[in-house]
Amino acid sequence: MSEVSRFFGIVIRIFFNDYQPSHFHAIYGDSEALIEIDTLRVLKGDLPSRALALVLEWASLHRTELARDWDLARSGQTPEPIQPLE
């Protein structure tokens, strides 16, 4: 697992050798959601509505970097940090 970004108390992680489809984990407090990179659809879990809105805004800005980091992690390499939402 590798943390790729952190903003407003939200942690974004991509796990090494995780299953398809390509996705990332967004963690906020005790809540966690798995979000598909291509569609930004919540695959599993949930977040409070405000946190989810921030995550989706951030992800829409960084979809290319998320896809790159997914590929890096799947090949056993360390994903690169992604600029947080400001």
Instruction: Please name which of 86, 63, 74, 54 lies closest in space to residue 14, comparing C-alpha atoms.
Output: 74
Do residues 51 and 31 touch, judged by C-beta distance below 8 A?
Answer: yes
Residues 2-48 pLDDT 10s:
999 999 999 999 998 888 999 999 999 999 999 999 999 999 999 99
pLDDT at position 17: 80
Q: What ranges do the domains of the chain cover?
A: 2-74
> At residue 1, does pLDDT exceed 90?
no
The residue assigned the tokens 């407003």 is 8
